[in-house]
Structure 1
Amino acid sequence: MTLTETSTGRPRAFSDVLDILSARRSERLCLGEVVEAFGDRAFGPVMFFFALINLLPWPPGGTTLTGAPLLLLSLELAWGRETLWVPRWAERISIHRETFRRLTRRFMRPLRWTEAVSRPRLYFLTGGFGQGLIGLACLFLSAVLVLPIFGGNLIPAVAIGFFSLGVMQRDGLAVLLGWLTTAVAVAVLFLAWKLIVAGFQHGIDAVQRMI
């Protein structure tokens, strides 16, 4: 039984479902519990769940594990699946519920504000073709998350968070913010690559001068 509807049949806000999941007494929150809670609406919430996890200050290589499930989710979204399929092994991925509570408390105020101001709009950005493009963008961002880059998780995770909110709320404005943040991520990666190449070339030149 999903938590996305109240007893009267009205849709429950995403933030309210997070409150219910946070209030449960078991020690850990697993992905399968999140998927079960949101049911047919699980695509956006589960992606948002992993975006929150990837915002944590992981050591280099930590997001290789936390970003990997997003690769599967992004592929499904790009493929055009209507409902989320998660393999059994992925359902067991979990975090401490207290960690989840801290994360939700940190983001609850902006999330509730977002829910208050967001509404279905710019439908072409969240329709079938739009969601396919979102899936491809999230696939790229997830691949960046998987790379062991120190501090490289922040911008891609924020972009995936915007895309997730856009999918959940059918809000094209959130999707536009996701595309803007993706552009920032691409620019940062390009500059980082240029610096690495320049540093490598400088090292080669220094060695040649020594020889």
Structure 2
Amino acid sequence: MSLTETSTGRPRAFSDVLEILAARRAERLCLGEVVEAYGERAFGPVMFFFALINLLPWPPGGTTLTGAPLLLLSAELAWGRDRLWIPRWAEGLSIHRETFRRLIGRFMRPLRRVEAVSRPRLYVLSGGFGQGLIGLACLFLSAVLVLPVFGGNLIPAVAIAFFSLGVMQRDGLAVLLGWLTTAVAVAILFLAWTLIVAGFRHGIDAVQRLI
């Protein structure tokens, strides 16, 4: 049963549903439980959930696991699915509920502030064709996340969080911020690749001079 509405039919905020999930007594929180809680609104919240996880300071290679589910979610969003689908085996993926409580506790205050100012606007950026483009952008960002690069998770995860918020709230401004952050990520990747290629060529030239 979806938790996204109150008994009076009013929609619950994303943060309110997170708190309900955190307050449950079961020791572990499964991905299937999160998807069921949000129902038809699951795309944005689940992607936002994984974006938050990827904002944590993981050691090199950690985001290879935490970023992998975003590849599937982004592909479905780009494909234009109306309702989130996850494989049955993935429904059982879980974290300790106390870890989840600490995680959302760290982000709850800024999340509530964002929710307070977020609202449906610039719909062309978050609906229909715009949502498909968001899916493609998140697919690219998720691919970057799974690369075992220390510190390489921060900017892609922030961009996915903005996109997810835009999808949840139908907020085109959040989507626009996602595109701007994606542009920053692309620029950094291009600069890093340029430096790697230059360093590789410099190394080859140095070896040739020694020979």
The TM tier, using the shorter chain, reads over 0.9
**Counterpart in the other structure of 1:82:** 82
Residue 93 of structure 1, CA deviation? 1.6
Distance 1:93 1:157 in 2: 20
Distance 2:95 2:184 in 1: 29
**How many pairs does the alignment contain?**
211
Unaligned stretches of 5+ in structure 1? none
Distance 1:100 1:177 in 2: 26
Provide runs of 4+ in structure 1 moved above 6 Å.
none
**Counterpart in the other structure of 2:52:** 52
**Counterpart in the other structure of 1:6:** 6
Residue 133 of structure 1, CA deviation? 0.4
- SS of structure 2 residue aligned to 1:29: strand
**Counterpart in the other structure of 1:26:** 26
Distance 1:94 1:193 in 2: 35
**Counterpart in the other structure of 1:143:** 143
Residue 140 of structure 1, CA deviation? 0.3
Unaligned stretches of 5+ in structure 2? none
Distance 2:57 2:111 in 1: 20
Distance 1:129 1:82 in 2: 13
- SS of structure 1 residue aligned to 2:209: helix
**Counterpart in the other structure of 1:128:** 128
Residue 105 of structure 1, CA deviation? 1.1
Residue 27 of structure 1, CA deviation? 2.0
Distance 1:98 1:208 in 2: 57
- SS of structure 1 residue aligned to 2:106: helix
1:62-101 alignment runs, 5 A limit: 62-101=62-101
Aligned CA-pair RMSD = 0.9
In structure 2, what residue type is equivalent to 1:72?
L
Distance 1:30 1:43 in 2: 16
Query: Normalized against structure 1, the TM-score is what?
Result: 0.97
**Counterpart in the other structure of 1:167:** 167
